[in-house]
Structure 1
């Protein structure tokens, strides 16, 4: 995936109504916050929501030019219809990235929590606190954006552990 130089990673927290994104640069040992936000697609038909995720995430990629992408895997809860919709939203996000020739890595929620907090069962507020701490951010982050930044951080940490970032 990554080489020894600076890398820009786009993390994605997919959702069928709100998709979070977060962009982090890894410059040696330094982590630099670049941007984060959400793509809101509420109030549209489902096919229109998928198109909006695809198009708007594509704009994020075009604007910020990440080197790599990391996305959270679908966690199947008790509602299969919700899981299917989430999977389709995730697919739209994946297509927006791989259609622009970006390498893509996938991580479970517990892998992200483990990488960011040291605890694979950490609560959302613990993840948000550590994301803010690791990136030197003040104030509260929107949950979806914080989760996406956590995915990007997880990817960077895993690459570092694999020897990509020295």
Structure 2
């Protein structure tokens, strides 16, 4: 599986590509940052991020795009910019028909370091170790993007099993052993008494005993 991880941000949007599978060694394909200047118009900055994302998607052709789920109770202006950059990344992936997975920061930290409260230094150190790099990627946004890709590769099998289980429950039999479509006429209209003929049991239809 080849996953492109995105750590969204207006000034620095971290991007990293990782290949591998759960339980097997992982390999970093590429890592970098799409940068914009803080004094530029917001619309222009989003266009630059879009162009950068398109270049990465066209060059490395990932199977999945993993994006950090934006969540914060503080600094609303920063969160707005991060959310806008996140939306651009998802839009670029969707235009290519690529699935998009959202992972919270705590999920990523827990997957990579074993604790959802790990600091950036811990995440960078574990990314370096897991991908067998010579040094932690810089800036930290790049390391976070790789961590997102690693997180998705490791969580994908469990997520797939969960989705299959939900689908089985939704399409399985109802209580009493009847399938979800039992007792319905063509067109989806339930019959009055499924499986019971009209008239008095044991008597010819419409005849008075």
Q: TM > 0.5 between the two? A: yes
Query: Over aligned residues, Cα RMSD in angstroms?
Result: 1.5
Q: 1:59, CA displacement in angstroms?
A: 0.7
Structure having the larger proportion of residues in strand: 1
- Number of residue pairs the alignment of both structures matches: 158
Q: Which residue of 2 aligns with 1:144?
A: 141
Cα pair 2:7 2:14 within 8 Å, conserved? yes
TM-score normalised to structure 1 length: 0.90
Counterpart check, 1:14 vs 2:8: yes
Q: 1:44, CA displacement in angstroms?
A: 2.1
TM-score normalised to structure 2 length: 0.72
Structure 1 stretches of at least 4 aligned residues deviating more than 3 Å after TM superposition: 160-164
Counterparts of 1:22-41 in structure 2, within 5 Å, are 22-27=16-21, 29-41=24-36
Q: Which residue of 2 aligns with 1:110?
A: 106
* Structure 1: unaligned runs, 5 residues or longer: 1-6
Q: Take 2:62 and 2:18, find their aligned partners in 1: how far apart are those partners?
A: 9
Q: Take 1:78 and 1:27, find their aligned partners in 2: how far apart are those partners?
A: 36
Q: Which residue of 2 aligns with 1:76?
A: 72
Q: 1:160, CA displacement in angstroms?
A: 3.8
Cα pair 2:127 2:136 within 8 Å, conserved? no
Cα pair 1:55 1:96 within 8 Å, conserved? no
